[in-house]
Amino acid sequence: MTGLPRLLVVLGPTASGKSDLGIRLAEKLDGEILVCDSTQVYRHFDIGTAKVPPKDQGGIPHHLTDLVEPDEIFTAGEYRQRAIKALEDLRRRKKLPIIAAGTGLYLRALLEGLADAPARSEELRERLRARAERHGAASLHRLLARLDREASDRIAPRDTQKIIRAVEMRVLTGKPVSEIHGSGRNPLQGYDIRKIGLLPPRTRLYARIDARVEAMMAAGWADEVRGLIHRGVPASSKPFQFIGYSELRNRVEAEKDPKAAIPAIQQATRRFAKRQITWFRKEPIVHWLTGFGDEPEILAAALKVAQVRTQLP
RNA sequence: GGACGGGUGGGUGAGUGGCUAAAACCAGCAGACUGUAAAUCUGCCGCUCCUUGCGGGCUACGGAGGUUCGAAUCCUCCCCCGUCCA
């Protein structure tokens, strides 16, 4: 066990101080950061996705950000592949990988792997979406019920996104979802993985979120959005769906005061944080720390978790 | 001082005699989620008791009375708020 190279994971809801803790740990333990965040993979969307600006990175290399252009679609499978490459690179250079994870699905895709399922098919999705438009979301669910009863029982009739994915898997492989998932995952091997979870008290976390949104606005978030519009990033592009970006784009386009969007953005971010917490609560073997990543006691506790010889159960 | 309009659960707001613990939306809480995941979706949401049931009890629609078998809904008075007239 002790022969395996270590892999640190810092996970937690947005604004819990993951990036900060990650950098401090990297400084002490000769590590580098692997960002695990579905929004930071997009170039040009910087302020609202809370990327750590280079001047604040403390000289610690940050990987897995700015991977694609805004009009591209990025997926968990893609993330897994890139992350594995990055891990191999760090291993060669004998650096401690520290994953700063805010996107639970991506983290799971990397650590536990994904089933051997087909990638998205845009044409098929186009057809399915058209069907939903014409005959309603319920018709898609009925279609899935015919193709894959078990999957349709598990997915809510209105959850069009998941229904489409299930139909897609069934059509592309001819196999029901349960069979594909039953075939197993391909977990990441060869690491002594230590997971540190940041879980600050809810009220304090919410207060930080509120303050951070204000700070992002003060840092020129609206101008960033203006720039994105000018460079021709379409409203339909994925990153414009991210929290804050949709609200700000609307306001900027309508030439309304962007500041008026602040309460709505704070609200959406708080709800997002809640969803992250729900997801991470299920994550196996996490050393939970009830505080923010920038607090000295938390750093001390995290260092302990990272360095003990035998992994605690 | 007078004339209207209005006061409903944390918020907005529907409800004009029983089907109403009270629509809807928001907020809040909890949850699901294996290739869009900062996405998408689900449940709960006055208090309380138990044999957890489309169960019982209590409290609730500004306040106090009243009418009625029955009131958030009708009547009386009072208190607030808004607009207008003086």
Q: What is the per-residue pLDDT across A66-94, written as a single tens digit (0 to 9) for each?
A: 999 999 999 999 999 999 999 999 999 99
Residues in a beta bridge with A33: A62, A98
Q: Which nucleotide is nearest to A121 (CA to C1')?
A: B35
Contacts of A121-126 spanning 24+ positions with Cβ under 8 A: A121/A168, A121/A172, A124/A168, A124/A171, A124/A172, A125/A164, A125/A168
Mean pLDDT of A104-116: 96
| pLDDT higher than threshold 60 for residue A218 | yes
Nucleotides of B under 7 A from a protein CB: 26-42
Structure confidence at residue A312 as a pLDDT band (50, 70, 90): low
| pLDDT higher than threshold 80 for residue A208 | yes
List strand B contacts in A 60-99 (CB < 7 A): 73-78
Interface confidence (ipTM) of the complex: 0.92
Mean pLDDT of A113-129: 92
CA(A266)–C1'(B16) in Å? 39
Mean pLDDT of A283-292: 95
Task: Identify the pLDDT of residue A2.
Answer: 55
What is the spatial distance between Cα A219 and Cα A215, in angstroms, rounded to a whole number?
6
For a pLDDT cut of 70, what percent of chain A falls above it? 98
Task: Identify the pLDDT of residue A62.
Answer: 98
Structure confidence at residue A137 as a pLDDT band (50, 70, 90): confident
Task: Identify the pLDDT of residue A136.
Answer: 78
Task: Identify the pLDDT of residue A131.
Answer: 86
List strand B contacts in A 159-218 (CB < 7 A): 159-162, 164-165, 169, 181, 184-185, 202
Task: Identify the pLDDT of residue A168.
Answer: 96
| pLDDT higher than threshold 70 for residue A214 | yes
| pLDDT higher than threshold 60 for residue A194 | yes
Identify whether the C-beta of residue A102 lies closer than 8 Å to the C-beta of residue A276.
Answer: yes
Structure confidence at residue A238 as a pLDDT band (50, 70, 90): very high
Residues in a beta bridge with A196: A10, A287
Does residue A48 reach within 7 angstroms of strand B, measured from its CB?
A: yes
Task: Identify the pLDDT of residue A260.
Answer: 86
Mean pLDDT of A17-32: 97
| pLDDT higher than threshold 80 for residue A264 | yes
CA(A178)–C1'(B44) in Å? 30
Element (H, E) at A223: helix A221-230
- Cα–Cα distances in Å, from A87 out to A43, A65, A298? 21, 14, 25
Task: Identify the pLDDT of residue A308.
Answer: 86
Task: Identify the pLDDT of residue A147.
Answer: 95
Structure confidence at residue A311 as a pLDDT band (50, 70, 90): low
Does residue A13 reach within 7 angstroms of strand B, measured from its CB?
A: no
Tell me whether strands A192-198 and A62-63 are parallel, antiparallel or unpaired. Answer: unpaired
| pLDDT higher than threshold 70 for residue A291 | yes
For a pLDDT cut of 90, what percent of chain A falls above it? 87
Provide the whole-model pTM. Answer: 0.91
Element (H, E) at A196: strand A192-198
Q: What is the mean pLDDT of chain A?
A: 94
